[in-house]
Amino acid sequence: MSRRSGNSCGRAARIDGLGRSPTTVEVSHQPPCPSVSVLLVIDPDTKDWTWVFARRCPECGFDASSCAGGAVAALVRSSASDWRTLFVEGSIAPGRTDPAKWSSLEYACHVRDVYRIYDQRIALMLEHADPLFPNWDQDAAAVAERYDEQDPHTVVNDLVSNGATLADRLDGLSVDDWGRTGNRSDGASFTIDSISRYMIHDPIHHLRDVTVGRV
């Protein structure tokens, strides 16, 4: 990924991150430019996280293999409440403490969008037979939507609202609904049961990302 930024007093600056270690590039300007806004871009996460169905996550401790789909709605509400608590405590804010890691605000924006995107995917699975999900590039979204410049209060309110909408949808599923299927653009196939268990690992895992190592 890359982002260009510049203004009338100099050429654009390009930043590319490799191996989750963003690389800064010094750009000279003639005449000197008072300021150039650049974004350190984190290398996209290309790991296949479907392994969470096979074993407990060694980092956050969540075990999707032993989690019932019917338990996910309560986990969504609990996780959303935990994110709100972090905001009240002042722990959701812009600014990366590590240039190779999202800020707590960027993580909150991501979780907000996870709840929205997966609610849309489950709705698609309910409305259509074995649909193909529209692609969602989460890393590109973080840059394009300027996650780290959004208002934390609004972000967390939307996170909680999106979580409630998703949880309500899950609570309203019939026994047969849980077996309905859908497909990701990379070929991964899910039922509503499996995609809900896959999804909830994300906000739980990122709670750990935000809280571990922070005082």
CATH number of the domain where residue 84 is located: 1.20.120.450
- Pair 191, 126: CB distance under 8 Å: no
Q: What is the mean pLDDT of each run of 10 residues along the chain (215 residues)?
A: 29 27 33 42 60 83 92 98 97 91 96 98 98 93 95 98 98 98 94 96 95 67
- Distance CA(13)–CA(35), nearest Å, equals 11
Q: In whole angstroms, how far apart are CA 131 and each of 14, 21, 173, 178, 194?
A: 38, 36, 18, 15, 15
Tell me if 8 is assigned to some domain.
no
Cβ atoms within 10 Å, residue 197: 24
Q: How many domains does the chain have?
A: 1
* Ramachandran assignment for 57, one of left (phi > 0), alpha (psi -120 to 50 degrees), beta (any other): beta
Tokens of 11: 């050429």
Neighbours of 74 (CB within 10 A): 13
Other Cβ atoms less than 10 A from the Cβ of 19: the count is 8
Alpha-carbon span 27 to 119, nearest angstrom: 43
Predicted pLDDT of residue 99 = 84
Which structural domain, as residue segments, surrounds residue 108? 69-211
Q: Tell me, yes or no, whether 175 lies in a domain.
A: yes
In a domain, 10, yes or no: no
Residue 149 included in any domain: yes
Tokens of 123: 């709705």
Confirm whether 38 is domain-assigned: no
Beta bridge partners of 132: 183
Contact by Cβ (8 Å): 73, 171: yes
Yes or no: say if 143 and 2 are a contact pair by the CB < 8 Å rule.
Answer: no
Q: Which residues contact 128 (CB under 8 A, 6 or more apart)?
A: none
- Does a structural domain hold residue 123? yes
Distance of alpha carbon 82 from alpha carbon 76, whole angstroms: 10
- The pLDDT score that the predictor gives to residue 50 is 75
The pLDDT score that the predictor gives to residue 98 is: 86
- Residue 33 maps to a domain: no
Torsion angle in degrees (nearest 10) through CA of 74, 77, 79, 83? -170
Q: Taking a C-beta distance cutoff of 8 angstroms, is the pair 204, 49 a contact? A: no
Model confidence, pTM: 0.78
H or E, element range at 17: strand 10-18
pLDDT of residue 214: 58
